[in-house]
Amino acid sequence: MEYAHLGRTGLTVSRLCLGTMNFGPRTSPQDAHAIMDKALEVGINFFDTANTYGNGRKGWTEEIIGDWIAKGGGRREQIVLATKVYSTVGDRPNEGRLSAYHIRQACEDSLRRLQTDHIDLYQMHHVDRDTPWDEIWQAMEQLVREGKVVYVGSSNFAGWHIATANQTAARRNFLGLVSEQSKYNLTCRDVELEVLPACREYGLGVIPWSPLAGGILGGVLGGVEEGRRAGEGVRRFVEAHREQVEQWEKLCRDMGEEPADVALGWLLANPAVTAPIIGPRTMDQLNSCLRALEVELDEETLGRLDEIWPGPGGPAPEAYAW
């Protein structure tokens, strides 16, 4: 396993982050526990979840992780545990978003479900345009003082949200955001305009979610009968972009690599990226992801990938102006 610092912090995390969104809805608790044990065995120490994962049973995924932690054996001490706050968790007022009221309650609920006394990386799942940053940081600072949160991160933020958040945190002499979890893959490169530059400027580690574009980059032309790659959204994308997908899969065949490994390898080759989130549904899927750490992409291959899956043209404003 390879490791890197999370952004500008001294925290060391594995270059692959174990995403747990499938745990519960698509992966049984027993199988999820086995996957987490295997992840530790191969050196993955970065686990990501959210307080609403569990499909119709919000918080179920955190409960599954908590039951795994409760088995002991140093499980909690070996992982960097990340979860999220923002989404609505109930029908009453203030059971969502980023008011200080909700942040406090959501943190306590996550700690209970996860059966731990602290969250290593507490991520805001979305920006809250209605709550002032001073209020948000007041709540996060209190959780840090109490030892319930170690670092704070963001998810699905725009570049200017990152700048505003960290400028406000600096005025309060607070560390601020240390990571940003963004949708980022070969088919979706909008974050290259302003989010990645903002992360570099403010020292945030980038944690891409959906690195395989919901299965589109995982080898869809072979005829998948189950899982996300068999979904209607993937089929529509392939119909609309068949030539690109064909070129993509041919390039991977010519390299002698699986498409999923090349897609992950492309993200890992970006200095701004700390760790793509892999979301294995099965043990086989976890094992297959490990090959990505060994994929090497030369300049010619990177150029060919840019031709097949063009990005926005670099950072703003040069991507669209002089």
Q: pLDDT, tens digit, for every residue of 61-78? A: 999 999 999 999 999 999
Alpha-carbon distance of 36 to 102, in angstroms, equals 29
The average confidence (pLDDT) of the chain is: 96
In a domain, 137, yes or no: yes
Does the pLDDT of residue 79 top 80, yes or no? yes
Question: How many angstroms from the chain centroid is the CA of residue 167?
Answer: 24
In a domain, 232, yes or no: no
* pLDDT tens for each residue of 151-209: 999 999 999 999 999 999 999 999 999 999 999 999 999 999 999 999 999 999 999 99
In a domain, 237, yes or no: no
Q: How does 37-71 read in b/e, with b if 16+ C-beta sit within 10 Å? A: eebbeeebbbbbbbbbbbeeebbbbbbbbbebbee
pTM given for the model: 0.96
In a domain, 250, yes or no: no
In a domain, 322, yes or no: no
Alpha-carbon distance of 171 to 96, in angstroms, equals 27
In a domain, 99, yes or no: yes
List, by residue number, the catalytic residues: 53
**How many independent structural domains does the chain possess?**
1
In a domain, 308, yes or no: no
The reported pLDDT for the residue numbered 232 is: 87
List the domain range (segments joined by +) for residue 118: 3-215+261-298
The residue count of the chain comes to 322
Cis-peptide, bond into residue 197, ω within 30° of zero: no
In a domain, 33, yes or no: yes
Q: What is the domain-level CATH number for residue 26?
A: 3.20.20.100
